[in-house]
Amino acid sequence: MIEKPLTAKDRIILALDVDNLKEAEELVKELKDYVGYFKVGLPLIVNYGFEAFRLLEEHGAKCYYDCKFHDIPHTVQKACISLVKNNVNFFNVHIQGGSKMTSAVVRASRAAAKSMGIEPPTILGVTLLSSFGQKTLTTELCVDKNIEDFVLQLAKVAKESGLDGVVASAEEARRIRKEIGEDFIILCPATRPTWSSVNDQVRVDTPRDAIMAGVDFMVVGRPITTADDSIGAANLIIDEIETALEDKKVLC
């Protein structure tokens, strides 16, 4: 299992939401010393498959695969075994696939890792997409709970299923941290510093919000990747995280 991040840099997961491997490689080469992980998601996987993972390996960069698997238990189980066999040791699945699915994923992935003699993967559970607001949850999904209660319930399912943590916003992270504990990993999927736009996200947090709420990892994309000075933007976020960590020590 992946250890909790020790430095501000380690907490940043840069989203490689680009259309081709050349763009991805340029970002990896430029920023691998300024972020902890690179997030590989649908755009690269649909076009290039496992080549995207190999690219990161070649450059000594660490990968977080944002696969969001959500299917019947057997199908997701087989997919996750394939990830483990291809050295992908940090990924996620949708908790809304149900406890049978999430439990099956944990068992199968750990068994595959054990048979290969490697460390078991870190598997997070996606709670609710960051593009969802209360209106979508209530009117379209017909869920009467408020978002925080709904996400907390999903986090409890994740914990009981053996998942290592969840993907949730900083606002939701406070209750998750309080009720589930310090060992549980919390990853904030939509982090935007105050100087950037929110784009198509609804539930968005600043790096400081995330740290103060007890978040371990935060995904940052366009504020860094589309900046005129990507390294400068990454350093600004690192500085914000470091300041928040110091302030949190004082408050605690």
pLDDT tens track for 45-98: 999 999 999 999 999 999 999 999 999 999 999 999 999 999 999 999 999 999
**101 and 218 share a domain?**
no
The reply to whether 7 falls in a domain is no
Chosen domain end from 82, 104, 125: 125
The reply to whether 238 falls in a domain is yes
Q: What is the mean pLDDT of residues 150-160?
A: 98
The half-sphere exposure of 216 on its side-chain side, counting CA atoms within 13 A, is 20
DSSP state of 212: H
pLDDT of residue 196: 64
**207 and 137 share a domain?**
yes
**95 and 189 share a domain?**
no
The reply to whether 245 falls in a domain is yes
* 99-116 and 147-161 helices, crossing angle to 10°: 40
Q: Domain span at residue 93?
A: 62-125
**247 and 174 share a domain?**
yes
What DSSP element (H or E) covers 250?
helix 230-251
Contact 70, 99 (CB under 8 A): no
Q: Enter the tokens of residue 209.
A: 């919000």
The reply to whether 230 falls in a domain is yes
Q: What is the mean pLDDT of residues 218-230?
A: 94
Among the listed residues 9, 68, 156, 248, the single catalytic one is 68
**202 and 220 share a domain?**
yes
Q: In the chain, how many domains are there?
A: 2
Q: pTM for the whole thing?
A: 0.94
**194 and 244 share a domain?**
yes
**138 and 240 share a domain?**
yes
Give the strand pairing for 37-40 and 63-69.
parallel
- What per-residue string of b and e applies to 204-226 under the rule 16 or more CB within 10 Å gives b? bbbbbbbbbbbbbbbbbbebbbe
- Please indicate whether residue 145 is annotated as part of the active site: no
Give pLDDT tens digits for 167-194.
999 999 999 999 999 999 999 998 888 7
- Give backbone dihedrals phi and psi of 105, rounded to 5 degrees, phi first: -60, -45
